[in-house]
Amino acid sequence: MEEIEKIIEKGALVIDVRTPAEFEEGHIQGSLNIPLNEIDGAVEWLQKDVPAVLVCASGSRSAVAVQILKANGFEKVYNGGGWNSLGNIKAGGCPVK
Domains of the chain: 2-81 (3.40.250.10)
pLDDT value for 97: 42
List the chain residues with pLDDT less than 70. 1, 90, 92-97
Instruction: Identify the pLDDT of residue 92.
Output: 65
- Is residue 23 within 8 Å of 33, Cβ to Cβ? yes
The per-residue pLDDT for 93 is: 54
Exposure on the CB side of residue 74, measured as CA atoms within 13 A: 26
